Amino acid sequence: MNINETLSKEFDVRLDRVENIIKMIDEGDTIPFIARYRKELTGSLDDQILREMNDRLNYLRNLEKRKTEVENSIKEQEKWSDELEQKLNDAKTLTEVEDIYRPYKPKRKTRASVAIAKGLEPLADILIKQEFDGDINLLCSNYINEEKGVKTVEDALNGAKDIIAERISDDSELRKILRELLQEKANIKTELLDNEKNKTYEMYRDYTEPVAKMPSHRILAINRGEKEDCIKVSVVIDDKLPLKKIEKEYLKDNPTTYDIMKSTILDSYDRLLFPSLERELRTTLTDRANEQAIKMFDINLRPLLLQAPLKNNVIMGFDPGYRMGCKIAVIDQKGDVLDTTVVYPTPPQSKTEESMEILTKLINKDKVDIIAIGNGTASKESEIFVAELLKHIKRPVSYAMVNEAGASVYSASKLGAKEFPDFDVNLRSAVSIARRLQDPLSELIKIDVKSIGVGQYQHDMPQARLTEVLTGVVEDCVNSVGVDLNTASPRLLEFVSGLNSKTAQNIVKYRKEIIHFQNREQLLKVSGLGRKAFEQCAGFLRITDGDNVLDNTAVHPESYDSVEKLLTHYNFTSDDVKNGNINDIRDMIKAEGEEKVASLIGVGVPTLKDIVEELLKPGRDIRESMPKPVLRSDILSLQDLKEGMILTGTVRNVIDFGAFVDIGVHQDGLVHISQICDKYIKHPSEVLKVGDIITVKVLGIDVEKKRISLTMKGLE
């Protein structure tokens, strides 16, 4: 297999660009670096496509490695042939390779291996050809050998049939045919078992669905139900269909051997083929569902991390609770903690007036602008309390509900303890809730990405793969936003292209012990950070008010000379950039011709365009264009909702069958995929993403089950 050509065809990318990408990956360039600073070499492919290509590259390389291992193993057995070589070369998946290797793979003791040891393989060879027309009993009697345990004609015949059954089961071409048949024609069938938890799985009491149409979320649901011993799951198919396929390959119209082969085929199918293919099919469905679920984590996590920060605000973090009270932490515009306290406005203590008095003093003292309320336990009572509190506050203060998923994980982590060694675990959580509103990206990256609470069935996913994908999302987001070199936490720096935990710690140590960074070149003085790491990370690190205005942009130091040529060419200076006096530069370049100007300064057109964008807005934050969190001053309850009511909400989670939307009551409402828009869409993510502010209409309310149905149809 020519891997480069395969990737070129699969991704519809020019071969030379694929070769460039593979070369850069092999040389240690990171995906964010390649996506941002090597656009001329990649055709401006974005980081998501590059990661998919990298995943596929690893798969194909593992495929080739496995082919070599299989070839060497078969050659050692002296069974290699031109036919096997062709089959192996043509194999496109690891499953196909394993099918080819199956007959040659060392096996544990089987009925067939026992029969072979008894010397019955020559008899099996005669029978499987189905050309014999003599006396079967006489033929089998030639293989009776009491020393080897073949005492009768029946023993010999049964042993030969076991060998044939295994050969049929190991036929790679047949397995491929039957695998495709099961995927097209089989059904998944479930039965509800007697179990205390079975109410959750009531819909699967006697449920059947075609494999070909089964959505990923349902596959994961039945897997979980099976794991919890609530349902029994099986693959069912009309056995006539696969048996017909096998008989076409292995059954000849020879009266002498017809019944023997027919019964052997049935035994092979029932005992070996179907159980094996059923396991394979379930695994394939699960793998597919896992990848889809992980993709949804990717889709949901990206906009969550890129939520617009609420900068220049003093924020009060409000971590709701009952018996232990509500933990309060106030942070300033930089995220530093100003004050902490605990109040008890919720049951069982319900010290409402006392709590109002304490928080009113705190709000006025610290000049609080926004209250961030965690959406966990006691959040509804806390929201009611805060809404009432704000009616008595003279300064303008609003509140926002904040998804606190993972906040407790951070609070109890080593990182949380290191940041706030003198704080109670719950107070750390209140700080985290406030910071999530102020700068979501900087705070959320402190939490294990699997605990952030987007997507479904995160605990059922293959954890290594989930972590790999979500870490890639975090890296892409961190690098697309950029990181302040003089203020970023070690944890945030870890996700910068080219850096790791050790170099991140060394950067923080350098700026504490020696000096705040004045320019990017000083990075080369950091212990353990060499030229390669500098190349990968420099463009993603920002220095405000440094020696060079370009250090506060995404322009890479390797392009500084080109920028100087560009500015000189149009009689601009770095002060013009700093003061925003180069607004005409884009029109000037367009008038002269982008390709001509790019050639003049020694870069490609994509890099020229990126440079111009950065020069026009030095220090910009791409998140500023994202929807701002919905701030409230009053509250709705489930009982306040009426069918037909029009509300504004925030998309909290996008899943395969719809999206959950926060509309200002304790329970998120569901917009089913059929209610998102009038045109047909395959997936909700085609229209919605986490953090979107949308207008919805209430379709129905089930107070008892706490379910709210919403629609977006017919609304602007």
Q: 529-539 pLDDT, tens per residue?
A: 999 999 999 99
Cis bond before residue 627 (omega within 30° of 0): no
Give 436's Cβ-side CA count (13 Å radius).
Answer: 30
Q: For the residues 364-368, what does the mean pLDDT come to?
A: 97
Q: How far apart are CA 655 and CA 453, in angstroms?
A: 12
pLDDT given for residue 197 in this prediction: 64
pLDDT in the model for residue 135: 96
Domains and their CATH numbers in the chain: 3-104 (1.10.10.650), 111-292 (1.10.3500.10), 315-447 (3.30.420.140), 480-624 (1.10.150.310), 638-711 (2.40.50.140)
pLDDT given at position 705: 80
**Percentage of residues of the chain with pLDDT beyond 90:** 75
pLDDT at 195: 65
Under 8 Å between Cβ of 554 and 478: no
Would you state the structure tokens that stand for residue 278, as one six-digit string? 């059923």
Mean pLDDT of 554-567: 97
Query: Is 621 in contact with 481 (CB distance < 8 Å)?
Result: yes
Average pLDDT over residues 539-567: 96
Which has more confidence, 169 or 512?
A: 169
pLDDT band at 639 (very low <50, low <70, confident <90, very high): confident
Is pLDDT above 80 for 687?
yes
Per-residue pLDDT at 104 exceeds 70: yes
How do residues 567-608 score in pLDDT, each as one tens digit? 999 999 999 999 999 999 999 999 999 999 999 999 999 999
How much is the pLDDT for 588? 96
In the predicted structure, residue 206 carries a pLDDT above the cut 70: yes
Cα 274 to Cα 270: distance, rounded to the nearest angstrom: 6
Q: What is the pTM of this model?
A: 0.83
Lowest-confidence pick of 177-186, 378-387, 449-458: 449-458
Lowest mean pLDDT, pick from 17-21, 53-57, 274-278, 387-391: 387-391
pLDDT at 405: 80
**Cβ neighbours of residue 34 closer than 8 Å, sequence gap 6 or more:** 21, 24, 25, 41, 42, 50
pLDDT at residue 145 tops 70: yes
- pLDDT range class, residue 525, cuts 50, 70, 90: very high
What pLDDT score was predicted for residue 716?
63
Contacts of 40 (CB under 8 A, 6+ apart): 603, 604, 605, 606, 607
Residue that wins the pLDDT comparison between 19 and 513: 19
Residues 381, 386: Cα–Cα separation, whole Å: 9
